[in-house]
Structure 1
Amino acid sequence: MSLDGLHVGRTETHVGYAVRQAVMELLERFGMTTIFGNPGSTELPMFRDFPEGFRYILGLQESVVVAMADGFAQASGAAALVNLHSSAGVGHAMGNLFTAYRNGTPLVITAGQQARSMLPYAPFLHAERATELPRPFVKWAIEPARAQDVPQAIAQAYQIAMQAPRGPTFVSIPIDDWEQPAQPVAVTRLSAKAAPDPQAMAEAAATIAKASRIAIVAGTGVASNSARDNLLALAERIDADVWIAPMAARNPFPEDHRLFRGFLPASREAIVQRLDGADCILVLGAPVFTYHVEGSGPFVPPGAALIQIGDDPAEAARVPEGIAIVADLAHALNALAGLAPARPQGSSVRRDQPAPPPPNVLTDTLLMSRLAALRPAGIAVVEEAPSTRGPMHDHLPMLAGDEFHTCASGGLGHALPAAVGVALARPDRPVLCLLGDGSAMYAIQGIWSAGHYTADVRFVIVNNGGYAALDQFGALFGLEAVGSKMPGIDFVALAKAQGVPGECVSDPGDLDRALTALFAGAGPRLLEVIVARGGGDPHADDHALEEHRGEAL
């Protein structure tokens, strides 16, 4: 059905037409025919006479369900539908709901509620204050006053989730609402991409024109606004250094480009040090700035002009100085490229290339280097290996055309199921899921969904025997972390028990063969790589201490 000329609102009454039918028709018009869930009793009537053309993706725990939907929505560029079970299911899902909120992922989350006639008596499995439970990590939450309002609520939830800045929304639905009579709901063709303010853009362009050295700090918003090509064109036009913002959850810029300078740590002093020498800082699709450790002093190098452009008014409101412009980044970068004068290409100052890792010890550094050499072209990468983040940045660059996903919230348990969602959204492209052993155990049952739905995900578990990132961060406080060791887990056995083949390597001489086998063919499989804790590098702790003063752990 065409959406042209339609708007949200009730039409004529249909005899025998129920809320369930109105919702399913609405979802089909939105293209939301993939539903992620772990069903409970209060949700079952939603799926009576499940329509042809829909598919239900089962996750074995609600946090897994939300993360799968997160990956699916990011990869498809459209909102995904999640179905949770009352208070208990929403509670289980909160960690990855927080991540979806920080990732800016559009999700429509429905949750079951007990029958309306029972609610005054606090029944079993009811959700007291249902709309308050998922806050503040949803943009909008509602339990409709009447059953007939459920389709309209879901239509509104979709539109709000897709408006910039994108994010999750929530609808609580009593079990007896689904069979109540309803009316069809039409759909608004909503366009909410904000154009930049011309006067502010002219001021930004003038600031750029008089700068002698420009630094761009690019974040997740560049990717979520489909503005990578626009950023590349602008950076080359104004010959700007390009840094990746702290905690960026997507890859905004090709890491093999001559203008790429590296990754900013989440530390105020360290950011100022890295940007030293620039007299104009242009922050795109990222906050100014995300910090992980307490700091002091200036936010940017003294004397540097600061310009921030993004689609989130709340981020703009927090900018401590300079100019903040709220706009869709693709529009804004096109406008800026038209206003800012072209600058001559300076002498190429390439990012320092780290020395190749020694091949005689199996370290995470060696693993990243060999993954870069052997990965299939165009493979998507989903990462949650905190203690390996530094070696990944140094030895596994994300290139033009690659898609990179990670967790913006700092919580664990996202990447494994998110990789399954990415693969389901783009079945023509394999996915590499890079996990630490500690991270993997937060959502290990997600492997079952990968096997059951034959998602083309290649899981690599970097097994260093525990939460090594916690040890690295503990050094900041001069203490030894407690509870950071977790030996004895057999990830290959865990994968095989869930229908996914696996292999374990601990000898560096076996690594290339194992990686080649991992990437051969299609379908999910797992490789566990036993690496030396601390990287096997006598200076690894010093390097980690420097990097993790600002990195997420």
Structure 2
Amino acid sequence: MTGPRTVREAAFDVLRRTGMTTIFGNPGSTEIPLLTGLPDDLAFVLGLHEGAVVGMATGWAIARERPAPALLHTTAGLGNAVGALATARVNRAPLVVLVGQQDRRHLALEPFLAGRLDGLAGEYPVWTAQPARAADLPGLIARAYHEAWTHRGPALVVAPMNDWTEPYDAPEVAAPERVVRPTPVLDEDVAGLMASLLEARAPALVVGARAATAETWAALVEIAEKLNCPVWQESFGARAGFPQDHPLFAGFLPSGRAGLRRALAPYDVVVAVGAPVFRQYGYEPGPLTEPGTALAVVTDDPDEAHRSPVALALLASPAAVCARLAALLPGPRTRPAPRPPLPPLAPGPGEPLRAAHVLRALADRLPADAILIEETPSSRPDLHRLVPARTPLGFVSAAMGGLGFALPAAIGLRMAEPDRPVVAVTGDGAALYGIQSLWSAAHYRIGALFVVLSNGRYAVMDRLAESGGAGKAPWPPFTEVSMHTLAAGLGCPARRVTAYEELVAVLDEVIPALAARETPLLLDVAVTPDGTFTP
């Protein structure tokens, strides 16, 4: 005879109903009552660091376009994960984050592992809650699912450890089973924006991560071809908002105001779609654009809309707005001549292997449906120039700017999209922030390719220090670090590559079968630190 239904069993039903049946976590003692004897229809994916846990969940959520659950262990777990949660928030990845807490029956005495969790993650969660009583916990998990999805970020629920085994006696779950979010956009809603585009002498579009869906891409291509206007990508964007091999793709906007003014000076109307107006890096004085350039933004992010210095902000689904604009704009579609192919790029006799050589060799071999995750700040301009995104997941990056995203995100993306080739391109300095993820890749047989551009230093920081002219930077290189040795120690197959001939040989071997690959591979590619950092 079975006992009364528990909070744990009710919570499992919520996970099943919402499709959150793959739980990413790094458990501690406060999570044992939840996890031991986990039902067979719920999968647990172990990460060896909380940054890896949240990074894998973020990749999964980005690919699936639905919330992913992550489990963290009280103060230490949540504290370790804050940087990754910030990345999830800025990347607008919906996560349901369960944080373990000590037994509520003696929290007043602050026992060992009792967490002071209020505000520990700052304002990066889109919503936080703690159950007033055990029976409220399943409802809060259900609500967190909706909050994460609506606000596109991590929703956090604190779970005292004894709550899971308490009887579940709530008469109802305090959250809807289903939320319908209709996104109708009427003709009159886009009338003002369409009039501005039709009256413009020289319009231009700026696209960002929230335009990175197949539907939005298709509509934006039609709009650009009807207007015969250039399309720019926002700087430091998390995803590509337009096919970057299209003839009308103009490139990436500069992240400084002077360069931004020069880039946008030819246009009298500029419409940002799914992108902020405009993402900046270092401060520069002066306006964003020259006088006479009218700005508008189309976004589903209220904060983004409300802070934009524009004449018109259209707060709605970018896909729905673009679909209406594409249908209403008159005229034939004009497709300019294709871009000429880039010239071959290989090192000359005696020339050292550079990041650009690696990126071009990779670009020449990647299939159009490849998912590429980038975290190589010093080589990002070369990557943008040489590796165009040809699908909405063709480029994924950490919009927050913190390191440690690429390795775990690639694992989550591959788990969610098991039939697509997945490649993470990262610097060795960046990879060290998420190196524990390689154990998860090996253990769960994640067939992703990790290309580490190893120069033994924080090259982008060196360049920034040099450009500032204030003297020599105090940090040393770390050339003693061996990425392939670290990977092997974590059970991940790895190869060291020191010459161009070795590189193309291994890429020719691995890339054609990458979609079907069942084990990870890390390429530790020795490159010379060179070039000029262009933010």
TM range, smaller chain = over 0.9
Does the 8 Å contact 1:275/1:300 carry over to 2?
yes
- Structure 1 distance, partners of 2:283, 2:198, is 34
- Structure 1 residue aligned with 2:152: 166
Residue 449 of structure 1 corresponds to which residue in structure 2?
Answer: 440
State which of 263, 278, 286 in structure 1 corresponds to 2:252. Answer: 263
- Partners of 1:346 and 1:68 lie apart in 2 by 39
Cα shift at 1:516: 2.0
How many Å apart are 1:188 and its aligned residue? 2.7
- Find out whether 1:188 has 2:177 as its counterpart: yes
Within-5 A mapping of 1:133-148: 133-148=120-135
- How many Å separate the matches in 1 of 2:201 and 2:295? 14
| Residue 228 (str. 1) matches residue 217 (str. 2) | yes
1:290 and 2:276 equivalent?
A: no
Question: Are 1:20 and 2:12 counterparts?
Answer: no
Partner of 1:533: 529
| Partner residue in 2 for 1:76 | 64
Deviations 1:517-551 (A, max 9, x none): 343642201111111110xxxxx33xx3xx2xxx2
Deviates more, 1:287-296 or 1:55-64: 287-296
Map 1:225-374; keep pairs closer than 5 Å. 227-342=216-331, 345=334, 356-360=345-349, 361=351, 362-374=353-365
Rounded to whole Å, the distance in 2 between the matches of 1:152 and 1:37 is: 21
Contact between 2:22 and 2:42, CA under 8 Å: does it hold in 1?
A: yes
2:508 alignment partner in structure 1: 516
Identify which of 487, 501, 510 aligns with 2:493. 501
d(CA) in 1 for partners of 2:65 and 2:432? 28
Which residue, 457, 471, 477 being the options, matches 2:468?
A: 477
Query: Following TM superposition, by how much is the alpha carbon of 1:514 offset from its aligned partner in structure 2, in angstroms?
Result: 2.2
Q: Conserved in 2, the CA contact under 8 Å of 1:500 and 1:524?
A: yes
Match in the other structure for 1:62: 50
> Which residue in the other structure is 2:374 paired with?
383
Deviations 1:96-120 (A, max 9, x none): 1110011000000000111112111
Deviates more, 1:306-315 or 1:394-403: 394-403
Please list the CA deviations of residues 54-81 of structure 1 after superposition, one character each: whole Å capped at 9, or x if unmatched. Answer: 1100000111100000001111111000
Letter in 1 for 2:449: R
Indicate the SS of the match to 2:450. strand
Which one is further off, 353-362 or 414-423?
Answer: 353-362
Distance 1:370 1:148, change over 3 A: same
CA shift for structure 1 position 226: 5.2
1:10 alignment counterpart: none
- Quote how far apart the aligned CAs of 1:53 are: 1.4
SS of 2:373's equivalent?
strand
Q: 1:32 to 1:64 in 2, by over 3 A?
A: same
Deviation at 1:380, TM superposition (A): 1.0
C-alpha root-mean-square deviation of aligned residues, in Å?
A: 2.1
Deviations 1:163-183 (A, max 9, x none): 1x4111000010110011114
Give the aligned partner of residue 11 of structure 1: none
Deviations, residues 233-257 of structure 1 (Å, cap 9, x unaligned): 2222222201110111011111110
Deviation at 1:340, TM superposition (A): 2.9
Contact conserved, 2:347 with 2:500, CA < 8 A, in 1?
Answer: no
Q: Where do 5+ consecutive residues of structure 1 fail to align?
A: 1-13, 535-539
Distance verdict in 2 for CA 1:230–1:267, change over 3 Å: same
Per-residue CA deviation, residues 329-355 of structure 1 (Å, 9 max, x unaligned), is 111111222333336638659599577
Cα distance in 2 for partners of 1:401, 1:286 equals 14
Q: Distance in 1 between matches of 2:156 and 2:53?
A: 15
Structure 1 distance, partners of 2:291, 2:233, is 21
The alignment of Structure 1 onto Structure 2 pairs a total of residues equal to 524
Per the alignment, residue 31 of structure 1 pairs with 19
Moved more, 32-41 or 190-199: 190-199
Distance 2:23 2:191 in 1: 45
* Aligned counterparts of 2:286 and 2:340: Cα–Cα separation in 1: 27
User: Aligned partners of 1:474, 1:349: CA distance in 2, in Å?
Assistant: 40
Give the structure 2 partner of residue 41 of structure 1.
29
- Structure 1 residues 15, 236: CA separation in 2 closer, same or farther (over 3 Å shift)? farther
CA–CA separation in structure 2 for the residues paired with 1:430 and 1:347: 30
Displacement of 1:508 after TM fit?
A: 2.1
Seen in structure 2, the aligned counterparts of structure 1 residues 225 and 197 have a Cα distance that, compared at 3 Å, is farther
What are the ranges of 5 or more consecutive residues in structure 2 without an aligned counterpart? none
**Residue among 156, 164, 189 paired with 2:143:** 156
How do 1:413-428 and structure 2 match up within 5 A? 413-428=404-419
Q: Provide the C-alpha distance between the structure 1 equivalents of 2:114 and 2:201, rounded to a whole number of angstroms.
A: 62
Structure 1 residues 126 and 215: alpha-carbon distance in aligned structure 2, compared to 1, 3 A threshold = same
Structure 1 partner of 2:384: 393
Q: Identify the residue that residue 7 of structure 1 maps to in structure 2.
A: none
**TM-score w.r.t. length of structure 2:** 0.93
Identical amino acids, percent of aligned pairs: 37
SS in structure 1 at match of 2:165: coil
Q: What amino acid sits opposite 2:77 in the alignment? A: G
Distance 2:387 2:325 in 1: 31
User: Runs (4+) of structure 1 moved beyond 4 Å?
Assistant: 196-200, 346-355
